[in-house]
Amino acid sequence: MKQDNRLRNDCFAMPRGVSWTPVDKAIEQLKRGLSNIKGTEVVSTTDGMGRILASSVCALSSNPPYTNSAVDGYGFCGPTKTQVSKLKVIPGVAAAGAPFVGKIPKGSALRILTGAVLPEGVDTVLLEEDIDQIDNFSITFEVFLNTGANTRKSGEDVLKGEQIFAKGHKLRPQDLALLVATGNLTLNVFCHLKVGIFSTGNELLDAHTTSFEQLEFSRIFDSNRPMLLSLIANWGFEVFDFGIINDDVNATRDSLNKASKSVDAIITSGGASAGDEDYVSRLIKSEGQLENWRIAIKPGRPLALGLWKGIPIFGLPGNPVAALVCSLIFVKPSLGLLAGCNWIKPQSYLVPSGFDKEKKIGRREYLRARLLADGDAEIFPSEGSGRISSLSWSTGLLELMDNEDKISKGDMVKYIPYSSF
């Protein structure tokens, strides 16, 4: 279903007079300004991995749909009342998918296997291993069993009609199991969010089409784009590669025009500050709607957020570390909102700091970190924003809050593993 869910022109507008925007304020603005821009479609649940539910879902059938045996053993009418019980064995067996037809009289038992529907007259199951004596005619055992022992009641997990998912939930493998188990074989989901990605800068060489021998003095390989393409594809969005754009107004305009015809959101890296060579920023400012966000964050800072022909653009800093951190903190949850999710805060864990550090008050800092064998966090020795090796070295980020000015060894710090994003 196609919907006209356009964003407001001022969706990225920051209140005037704020020189350095705190991270929390920036996040509040993104939450306020962004919303779902996608229509909906119906898909088979078996194809639902990673999709975002466009409506809440209720169980169409209970789980389990009928009371069944939780073990292999003998079914009878419980409870047992004496120390030693002896039950007559009825010929036959009840198995999963092959129910026993007939009634089991009181004082008798039937062989029953895991998952089988309880036959009429059976409400309790004796575990096979608990049998003391068995022959063709009877079983003897010495365990006390309450009525219902070793059975799974109809609806004990989920009752028919119960809500199992809210609108906006992003489906995981185990969710597909629950949906199918409760009879939901098709789903109403939001259409895929299409995200276009390009890099900017005259210094950049395309790793896809350039050989190592062609690496010239004064140039570098474009390392942001393979990172961002795979990062954003991993988040479940459909990515489109628009290559490298030279630092040139016309080339930037052509690329933005081309991208805005085929995608729902655009991510650029480089050229996002307000300097002379920052063409992305300059162009969107003069011909689209642009807000240069100066965020009190390290690494990061210049983030150019704007609209080009109504399409949201996230202009990331060119430095690879800042590009990744800004993607994780701002872009991922923003794309989620556009795609129909709620704002998702990454799961963090408090861990002891394995280092001492002084920090500027009033600024959020994200340090590249990993956990030592004893659980303490260690940080990469250099904070340089061009240190690509630090990204590979680390397993997550430490979030140092705005009001903190000093971290001492042993202080508890907030660790966010990359897998939380």
Sign of the torsion angle spanned by Cα atoms 145, 150, 151, 157: positive
Q: Which residue is nearest to ligand AMP (CB)?
A: 318
- C-alpha 31 chain-centroid distance: 18
Taking CB under 5 A as the criterion, the residue among 201, 236, 299, 333 binding Mg ion is 201
Q: Distance between CA 280 and CA 353 in Å, rounded?
A: 39
x/- site string to Mg ion, residues 316 to 355, per CB under 5 A? --x-------------------------------------
Planar angle of CA 382, 387, 388, nearest 5 degrees = 140
Shortest Cβ 201–Mg ion spacing (Å): 4
Closer Cβ to Mg ion, 201 or 288, answer by number: 201
Q: Which two tokens stand for residue 205?
A: 């060489």
Site for Mg ion contains 270 (CB under 5 A): yes
The least CB distance from residue 202 to Mg ion, in Å, is: 8
Three-state DSSP class for 289? strand
Kindly state the smallest distance separating residue 306's Cβ from Mg ion, in Å. 17
> Which partner, ligand AMP, Mg ion, none, binds residue 252 by CB below 5 to 8 Å per kind?
none
Q: What are phi and psi of 321, to 5 degrees?
A: -65, -45
Return d(Cα 312, Cα 282) in angstroms, integer.
16
224 touches 320 (CB < 8 A)? yes
Ramachandran region, residue 148 (left: φ > 0; alpha: ψ -120 to 50; beta: rest) = left
Enter the tokens of residue 178: 């629950």
Instruction: By CB under 6 A, name the binding residues for ligand AMP.
Output: 199, 201, 203-204, 220, 222-225, 269-273, 317-320
> Which CB, 51 or 225, lies closer to ligand AMP?
225
Q: Whose Cβ is closer to ligand AMP: residue 168's or residue 271's?
A: 271
Q: Please, which residue, 188 or 246, has the CB nearer to ligand AMP?
A: 246
Measured from the CB atom, the residue of 78 and 201 that comes closer to Mg ion is: 201
Q: How far is the CB of 14 from ligand AMP (least distance, A)?
A: 20
Partner touching 63 among Mg ion, ligand AMP, none, CB below 5 to 8 Å by kind: none
CA 244/CA 291 separation, integer angstroms: 23
Q: Which is nearer to ligand AMP, 201 or 299 (CB)?
A: 201
Name the residue with tokens 């800072």.
Answer: 301
Interface residues toward Mg ion, by CB under 5 A: 201, 270-271, 318
